Each structure stands twice: as structure tokens, then as C-alpha cells.
Structure 1
């Protein structure tokens, strides 16, 4: 099974910003990362007016769009259906990846790095549990796991590389 590592934090902390910096650093080390991002927003990766969008809106429950450069599978889910994290992981192609990064899903029992920026320590404690392997922060915190500098993506990438080595 592929190693899975979540980046978890409260909204607005900089999860996406950090991941945009970490992914190229990991790729430069030969790591092929995949990513699953959780969002609370209604989102659509397709565009109105495109054939795939129109066919999905006509009632297709799944639409797979493919070209030589990439492919995407869009699946309609029932209203208020709970996301099945393990099912989403199973959709990732383990043959072409070395690591699955996860943005969000802070309640899943998977290893994670918690980000902390401008929050009081009580709010951070809500995110700390036995699955947290490090805290990345821009301030001094007393935590029982390694504390990383949130403003030093190379340091965080190095930590992830070491974690991957110990996980294999």
C-alpha cells in the first residue's frame, strides 16, 4: 500500500500554499506524489458548454474525459452522501505514485502534519492526536512531536523524505 500523508489545518492556514511548494521539492527528490483534496464547496471540474459537461448534465452518472495528456473521471454522488476516504484512495493509481498527499480529511486515521499559524494553542490541541507526526508552525509551540518551520518548505520536504524512508 502506498504511504499516505495528510496536511491538516483549519481553513485559511495555508495548506494549499504549502503543498504547492512541497510537491516540486518532493518531485526533485524523485518522489511521484498524488494528491486528494477535500473541499466543502460545491465544485465542478468541467465547463458549461463542453460536450462532457452537457452529457453529465443529461444524466450520465460518470463521465471520463481522456486525451493524450491526461484523463479525468467525474462521478456524481448522491445528495448528502458521506465521502468514503478509502474508496477515494483506491481510485489513485498505485503503479505511478510513491506517495499520496491528502489536503484536509483531518478526521481520518492517517499520518498527518498539522499546520499552525496565528491560532491559540487550545484550537491546535483539537487537531492533535496519535496520528500527528509533526506540527509545522510559524511560532514556538510545546508539542510532543517534531515541530517544523511552516515558512521553510525545504525543511518540511526533508522531514517527509525521512518519514518515507522510515515507513518503507
Structure 2
């Protein structure tokens, strides 16, 4: 599986770019999965639901299955957070995994950047950033795409990965 990241500061357009890239790549016939890393504690399960009650009772893993989808929730119960590599090993094989977050990961990335955030590009200190997707001109030697140029960004990622 090929892995490519979308990184950037908060409110820089990462999630919108991820969403558009998934649509673009799947329209081109690629099988795509995503990984989203959150720095804060989040819960995808709802209090009172049966699966939530199973986890609260102490289950290490809860698999929830419906006619439309299934999901596995794994409680760490004090164990360290798994690495990106460990998480990628849990995914079914696909052509491309897009990763949102994991700024310090070794995988190649494109950085979403908005001028209104008034923050310097992460690319200045992160050699894994291969290009920027910006809403304004930046002084950089890296390729810089308009944040809304989904097709151009997708073409760049595929070339960068040799796909």
C-alpha cells in the first residue's frame, strides 16, 4: 500500500482537501482508505448504546456490525497509542492510504496552508512535506498548488508515489 499524508495547522483546509482527494482518486478507479489522527480524546460511540456498554464493561475490542458497515473499536486500557505503522497494518490492502495528521511521520505529505491562520508553513521545518496547497502565494522552493486544485494535487501525489 502506498501512503500519503495531508498535514497543516488547524483550520488550514486539511479535511476538505482529504475529502476531495478521496473522491478524485476513487473516481479514477483507485481503492482508497484513510487514517485520521486526533490529538484529543474522542469517542465515536454513544453513551447508552449496546456497543458503548460493552466497552464500559471492560471489553478490549468491540466489533459493531450492521447490514451497511462494520467497525471495530479497540480500547487501549492504558497501553501506549499504536504507531501509524501498527495502525496501517490493521487496514485491508488498498491502492492508497491518505493520512490526515501524523505531522512527524516519515511518509510523504502535502501541506494545506491558509494565509488567515498567520502561521508559517510546516514545510519550513518538515522535510517530509513535498508540496503545499495554499490559498495565497508563498515564498517556497516546493511545488505550490491552489488549495482548490484537487486534480493538480492528485496528479502530483500519484507522480510522487509512482502510481
Q: Is 2:106 the counterpart of 1:88?
A: no
Corresponding residue number in structure 2 for 1:159:
156
CA distance in 1, matches of 2:77, 2:45: 18
Deviation at 1:71, TM superposition (A): 1.3
Matches within 5 A, 1:9-158: 9-79=8-78, 81-94=80-93, 97-118=94-115, 119-120=117-118, 123-125=120-122, 128-158=125-155
Deviation at 1:128, TM superposition (A): 4.2
Deviation at 1:133, TM superposition (A): 1.6
Q: Relative to structure 1, is the Cα distance of residues 160 and 79 closer, same or farther in structure 2, using a 3 angstrom cutoff?
A: same
CA distance in 2, matches of 1:69, 1:25: 23
Q: Relative to structure 1, is the Cα distance of residues 126 and 120 closer, same or farther in structure 2, using a 3 angstrom cutoff?
A: farther
CA distance in 2, matches of 1:159, 1:133: 10
TM-score between the two structures when normalised by the length of structure 1:
0.86
Q: Relative to structure 1, is the Cα distance of residues 127 and 77 closer, same or farther in structure 2, using a 3 angstrom cutoff?
A: farther
Deviation at 1:28, TM superposition (A): 0.7
Deviation at 1:124, TM superposition (A): 1.2
3-state SS of paired residue (1:21)? helix
- Pairwise CA RMSD of aligned residues? 1.9
Task: Point out where structure 2 has 5 or more consecutive residues left out of the alignment.
Answer: none
3-state SS of paired residue (2:121)? helix
Deviation at 1:116, TM superposition (A): 1.3
TM-score between the two structures when normalised by the length of structure 2:
0.89
Give the number of aligned pairs: 162
CA distance in 2, matches of 1:147, 1:135: 5
Deviation at 1:127, TM superposition (A): 5.4
Task: Point out where structure 1 has 5 or more consecutive residues left out of the alignment.
Answer: none
CA distance in 1, matches of 2:121, 2:62: 40
Deviation at 1:120, TM superposition (A): 4.7
- Per-residue CA shift, 1:35-71, capped at 9, x if unaligned? 0001122211122222111111111011111233221
